[in-house]
Structure 1
Amino acid sequence: MTTQPSARDRRAWAQYLVDERAEAQVYRELAARRAGEEREILLALAEAERRHEAHWLALLGGEPEKLPHPKASTRLLAWMARHFGSIFVLALAQNAEGRSPYDSDPSATPQMVADEKVHHEVVRGLAARGRRRLSGTFRAAVFGANDGLVSNLALVMGIGATGVAPQFVLFSGLAGLLAGALSMGAGEFVSVRSQRELLDATQPNNYADEVLGDLDLDANELALVYRTRGIPHAEALERARAIIATAQAADRSVPYRRAPEAIGDHEVVGGAWGAAGSSFLFFASGAIIPVLPWILGLSGVAAIVTALVLVGIALMSTGAMVGLLSGGPPLRRALRQLAIGFGAAAVTYGLGLAFGISLG
């Protein structure tokens, strides 16, 4: 005897149906903005969602006359995928796939439950590709902006608490902005330039190429060069013999030069001047926010409260973005950023109060 589904069951199935359709649309929108393997993967995910859609249609006995709206979060994902197609959409989709309701619903087949878990891993893998592509730039942006926000907020809060004139707080904040941004830029320039010089020093060169043809084919140390690069003994010997044989067969009147070699994949570090400029701007963009109330002519408690509100919004925004990109809960990351920034500001504000009382 077959039990007739309740009205509640049918409402749940209809919601699953529209959500599956909306999720498939998200993947199609993302696929339209990509090419190659990533496009194929996203279209395969959309096809899998279509299979799930067919399951709910079969349980409902066909297309219902009236369907609910997809979840607001899924509609937002589709809109973002259509207009941006960014890593943020994949990060949000990863979180959504990790919250599948099918685990506790007996109407979903075991295959669908398994599909959703695999989808979570697939989307996580796609999101990881994007995270790796922007990890360096994003790290510099978040680190620079947050450093500017926290350090300059702590500075103006500490100085403002001493009771000095608003003009002095403003000057201190602008000086802190400039000093911090220059320090960040200079530090990034030295760091990138030093890293590039270090990597350049590890690259193979053609220092010994001219004499390769004079080496003994059977008794030479060229194989040791390759062994220092981690190549196994037998392969190093084979490569050395091949290079020496080629050099001996070459025209000896022309200096012999090997083709360029690579000893491994180096991290792409970019240009020193570009890194310095971006670090300067990232820090300055964060450091200007705590100073805005004094630039606008506010003073006293009004300026301090306004600075706290502006910086709080900025800290929570950057924290939420970190949460989205890392696949973690955005609110928790936002509150963590807020607590760190306001904690630093509270310490310097307390010091400022203490100095203000002692000087008074």
Structure 2
Amino acid sequence: MRAPAEPTPHDRRRWAKYLVNERAEAHVYRELAARRTGEERDILLALVDAEGRHETHWLTLLGGEPARLPRPDAGTVLIGWLAKRFGSIFVLALAQNAEARSPYESEPFATPAMAADEKIHHEVVRGLAARGRRRLSGTFRAAVFGANDGLVSNLALVMGVGATGVPGQFVLFSGIAGLLAGALSMGAGEFVSVRSQRELLEATEPNNFADSVLPDLDLDANELALVYRTRGMSAPDALARAREIVEDAQQSDRSQPYRRPAEVADDHEVVGSAWRAALSSFLFFASGAIVPVLPWIFGLSGFPAVITALVLVGIALLATGAAVGLLSGGPPLRRAVRQLLIGYGAAAITYLLGLLFGVSMG
């Protein structure tokens, strides 16, 4: 898009806004880089340099530093504040969403290279966030979904029992029983699930069963190439790899058993520990399931207890939904509202059933 010949005062105000936002974004990446080392730190500092080029562009159009500058976007300021204090996967997820909303594609005074940069920045931040998601995927998945399940299932339970008109002590007992039963079930189920997944990975990984006989293979005619073809290599690459391994084995110290180098990366980090996942699932289900019971624990009963439980669980559901949205790269508000509607929907169904049972028994 071609820029207008003469910029208007409105254009200059927009440029100033872009300028402060570029500086705020560079601050975010600088704070994140300060909390990291190695390759991730280098990548974040490269993003700082790129934001600096964009800053220079707007300064040039403005003719230097303006006397007065607007405030940067509140969202970018918040991300910077979080980056300085936490530097977590949540900050990267927020930054990913922010990069996806760049206005440069439709901005007449931004260069095509700047618009392209912003799209690339989104992919870079998405990649960094993906690394964090993979590190969190096992235990954190069990924690988040355990807490959410505890909130929804125990809210539905106490709503249904409470609607029958039974005394508050019976509602409290039902809620505690539901907490323990659900937490134990979640912990056991998560343990079996993760352990089974790890066993499946172990069964499918190469075991290098024939390492001890590799020095005895014919260098030019052997079936080791077939092994590498089963692992996805092309025939020429498999043959070259097999020849390299056999040659290395024949030149090795025969007094020691030969062992091939590791051929695949360990995927167990992605799956996580079965015990950690089970414990997280148990504890977070219990932490979620205790929330609907709190009003009865503190002596409330009847309609006030029901309303208090709905408010407390609603806040918790919004928080867990937003957290899932951030980690998945989706809109956190939409995910939060979805969680809230699901939880309240389940509670409404059991409450109505409880009312029906209460009327029929009355």
Which category of TM-score, normalised to the shorter sequence, fits these structures? 0.7 to 0.9
**What's the CA shift for 1:353?**
0.8
What code does the residue aligned with 1:303 have? A
**What's the CA shift for 1:274?**
2.3
CA distance 1:140–1:221, shift in 2 (3 Å): same
- In the aligned structure 2, how far is the partner of 1:45 from the partner of 1:248? 47
What code does the residue aligned with 1:87 have? I
Aligned counterpart for 2:53 among listed residues 51, 54, 63: 51
Identity of aligned residues (%): 73
- In the aligned structure 2, how far is the partner of 1:246 from the partner of 1:303? 73
Aligned length: 356
What code does the residue aligned with 1:267 have? D
- In the aligned structure 2, how far is the partner of 1:52 from the partner of 1:206? 52
Segment of structure 1 superposing worse, 117-126 or 189-198: 189-198
CA distance 1:82–1:257, shift in 2 (3 Å): same
- In the aligned structure 1, how far is the partner of 2:211 from the partner of 2:334? 58
- What 5-or-longer segments of structure 1 have no aligned partner? none
Q: Which residue of 1 aligns with 2:36?
A: 34
Q: Which residue of 1 aligns with 2:194?
A: 192
Q: Which residue of 1 aligns with 2:320?
A: 318
Measured against aligned partners, the alpha-carbon deviations of 1:82-120 in whole angstroms (never above 9, x if no partner) come to 111111112111211221222333222222222222222
SS in 2 for 1:99: coil
**What's the CA shift for 1:216?**
8.7
CA distance 1:155–1:220, shift in 2 (3 Å): same
Question: Contact 1:212–1:244 (CA<8 Å) still a contact in 2?
Answer: no
What code does the residue aligned with 1:54 have? T
CA distance 1:75–1:237, shift in 2 (3 Å): closer
Correspondence 1:54-203 to 2 at 5 A = 54-202=56-204
Which entry has the higher C-alpha Rg, 1 or 2?
Answer: 1
**What's the CA shift for 1:299?**
0.5
The answer to whether structure 1 residue 287 and structure 2 residue 289 are counterparts is yes
- What 5-or-longer segments of structure 2 have no aligned partner? none
**What's the CA shift for 1:319?**
0.7
**What's the CA shift for 1:270?**
3.6
**What's the CA shift for 1:28?**
1.1
Measured against aligned partners, the alpha-carbon deviations of 1:285-311 in whole angstroms (never above 9, x if no partner) come to 111111111111110111111111111
The answer to whether structure 1 residue 352 and structure 2 residue 346 are counterparts is no
Q: Which residue of 2 aligns with 1:267?
A: 267
Segment of structure 1 superposing worse, 348-357 or 35-44: 35-44
Measured against aligned partners, the alpha-carbon deviations of 1:308-360 in whole angstroms (never above 9, x if no partner) come to 11111111111111112222211111110011111111111111111111111
CA distance 1:118–1:215, shift in 2 (3 Å): closer
- In the aligned structure 1, how far is the partner of 2:212 from the partner of 2:7? 85
SS in 1 for 2:108: coil
Question: Contact 1:203–1:263 (CA<8 Å) still a contact in 2?
Answer: no
Question: Contact 2:320–2:336 (CA<8 Å) still a contact in 1?
Answer: yes
User: TM-score, normalized by length of structure 2?
Assistant: 0.86
What code does the residue aligned with 1:343 have? G
**What's the CA shift for 1:232?**
5.8
Question: Contact 1:204–1:262 (CA<8 Å) still a contact in 2?
Answer: no
**What's the CA shift for 1:249?**
9.5
Segment of structure 1 superposing worse, 73-82 or 228-237: 228-237
CA distance 1:60–1:197, shift in 2 (3 Å): closer
Correspondence 1:200-219 to 2 at 5 A = 200-202=202-204
Question: Contact 2:82–2:91 (CA<8 Å) still a contact in 1?
Answer: yes
SS in 2 for 1:103: helix
The answer to whether structure 1 residue 19 and structure 2 residue 21 are counterparts is yes
Superposition CA RMSD, Å: 3.0
- In the aligned structure 1, how far is the partner of 2:98 from the partner of 2:316? 25
Correspondence 1:294-333 to 2 at 5 A = 294-333=296-335
**What's the CA shift for 1:250?**
7.4
